[in-house]
Amino acid sequence: MKLNRNTVFDCSVIDVSKVHDEAGNITVVENGINIPFDVKRVYYLYDVPGGEARGGHAHYELEQYVIAAGGSFDVILDDGKNRKIVTLNRPNLALHIVPGLWRELDNFSSGSVSLVLASHIYDEKDYIREYSQFKKYRNG
Ligand code: TYD
């Protein structure tokens, strides 16, 4: 198992830009252009009932872009020492989540859509789902 020393400060919000005209906007994310890993999987979270939270886990290897494709929500990042809350509310902004961090998503606005671009296909073995196990992984 690879020990990971990434911190919440390695996660940043990237303006992936948009193509605007009077008929609306298009945002494009392309491997090798405006994302620092190759995308292997795309999923999206929607119909989250009011007051619900998602996430509540860490990944050993997975890297992600998280985008509020519609509406808004908060992402809480935790590296075992530091916590950071990022509010996402624009479809052209992507939160880059590096591997090894605990994350939770909450405060979803009604009708919000969380679009996730991921560096690996789904693998349950890449998850840490117990916070106590995560703390041990990070802090020994
Ligand atoms: P999970 O990643 O725990 O969701 P969240 O972080 O949004 O709370 O996944 C929830 C369920 O969906 C779990 O049973 C696994 C399944 N799932 C897949 O089958 N493939 C996927 O790509 C993802 C993200 C989840």
Please give the model's pTM, rounded to 2 decimal places. 0.96
Is 20 an annotated catalytic residue? Answer: no
The pLDDT, as a whole number, for residue 57 is: 98
The pLDDT, as a whole number, for residue 111 is: 97
What does the alpha-carbon distance between residue 21 and residue 38 come to, in Å, rounded to a whole number? 29
Pocket probe mutation, ligand 1, options 39, 40, 52, 54, max atoms within 8 Å of Cβ = 54
The pLDDT, as a whole number, for residue 1 is: 47
The pLDDT, as a whole number, for residue 89 is: 98
pLDDT, block means (10 residues), the chain with 140 residues: 80 95 96 98 97 97 98 98 98 98 98 98 98 94
What does the alpha-carbon distance between residue 81 and residue 46 come to, in Å, rounded to a whole number? 30
- Given strand 113-118, what is the order of strands in its sheet? 12-15, 93-97, 64-70, 113-118, 41-45
Annotated catalytic residue, options 20, 57, 59, 120: 57
C-alpha distances (whole Å) from 104 to each of 28, 49, 52, 79, 97 are: 25, 15, 11, 12, 12
Which atom belonging to ligand 1 lies closest to the Cα atom of 41?
Answer: 22
The pLDDT, as a whole number, for residue 3 is: 54
The pLDDT, as a whole number, for residue 2 is: 52
The pLDDT, as a whole number, for residue 17 is: 87
